[in-house]
Amino acid sequence: MTTKLYVANLSDIDVKGSRKIKYNDIEIAVFRLTDDSVLAVENRCPHKNGQLSEGMVCGTTVHCPLHDWKIDLRSGQVQEPDDGCVTTFETEIDRESGSIYVTV
Ligand code: FES
């Protein structure tokens, strides 16, 4: 079963910024990219659980704030030479209201 969660309004998140939401035990980081698209991943680096929401966004990649692993926000894959992946979540923006939703 999937659930659609309201995150925030697009204008509430700075460009290259993020919002955190919780669903049960999962914390999700939702990022606004420079093209105003929005991507969401589990807010936990596969290395040592760094908070990806605190990381720097570069294109569609987030740099983990702890040890700079680079994670693709579209696929959840960690860039080589490091290895791992995070769960990604589907996002949706209602273009009329600007509301952002994540499907979990
Ligand atoms: S915890 Fe993310 S790179 Fe180490």
Please state whether 2 falls in left (phi above 0), alpha (psi between -120 and 50) or beta: beta
Query: Measuring CA to CA, which residue among 43, 42, 35, 30 is closest to residue 15?
Result: 35
User: Domains in the chain, ordered, with CATH?
Assistant: 4-103 (2.102.10.10)
Q: What percent of the chain has pLDDT over 70?
A: 100
How remote is the CA of residue 29 from the centroid of ligand 1, in Å? 15
How remote is the CA of residue 94 from the centroid of ligand 1, in Å? 33
Checking if the pLDDT of 1 tops 90, the result is no
The residue-averaged pLDDT of 20-27 equals 96
pTM, whole model, 2 decimals?
0.96
How remote is the CA of residue 37 from the centroid of ligand 1, in Å? 25
Which residues contact ligand 1 via a Cβ below 6 A?
Answer: 45, 47-48, 50, 64, 66-67, 69
The residue-averaged pLDDT of 73-79 equals 98
